[in-house]
Amino acid sequence: MRKDNRLRKLNNKGSAIVTVLIVIIFISILATTVLYLAGRNVKMKATDRHTKESFYATETTLEEVKAGLVRIASDCYDKAFAEVMKHYAGSDSSSRRYLFVQTFVQSFIDTWEPEGDIYPDMTVADLVTNPTMFESVGTFDKSERNSGILYIKDVEVSHTVGGYTTKIKTDFAIRVPDAEFDVGADTSVPDSPEATRTININDCVLYTNWEKR
């Protein structure tokens, strides 16, 4: 009987060790799971941050392009308005509008594609602070110039941050401002462009066929 009691005591001690081992293994698994999830969370946040930084960098470059095109469009607007003023009294509203459209379009073309060999043709890379981000500077399309629209097509920008790359491809449409020259009688001359209608030149440069890759 005494021998059996000793064996039982030994068996009790063994079960306690097994219980401790099970608890340790469980805690280890739990700790490993927590560490894994924490690591995944950190990695996901880093990925999200790098993706956003990459996207914002490409967007900033395209916004620089748009701002540059708006500046050119603004200069063309001033030239076109001045040209209309020269012939205002001797023309009707439709003739003024036609002259305005043609002068605006031609002024933009002359700026983008200057004649002669002194100045090279412009590209969108000339409008930004970091031209190395362009995979394609696009092509200048004048096929709809008679409708008062010019295009810079297939502009593509890419940027990589932390191994994550964002690519954006888009076209830019430059539309002639919707200015009207029918104020009062045909012989009345407005003092300034603002006297005809409030024009927002920013609305004359638009993104078209925008695509994120």
Q: Please give the residue that has the higher pLDDT: either 89 or 177.
A: 177
Q: How far apart are CA 177 and CA 150, in angstroms?
A: 12
Q: What is the pLDDT of residue 5?
A: 53
Residue type, 72: I
Burial label, 120 (beta-carbon count in 10 A; 0-12, 13-18, 19+)? exposed
Instruction: Express each pLDDT in 157-192 by its tens digit.
Output: 999 888 889 999 999 999 999 887 765 444 445 555
Cα distances (angstroms) measured from residue 167 to each of 56, 60, 62: 11, 13, 11
Domain boundaries, the chain: 52-212
Q: What is the pLDDT of residue 185?
A: 43
Burial label, 177 (beta-carbon count in 10 A; 0-12, 13-18, 19+)? buried
* The length of the chain, given as a count of residues: 213
Q: How far apart are CA 166 and CA 159, in angstroms?
A: 6
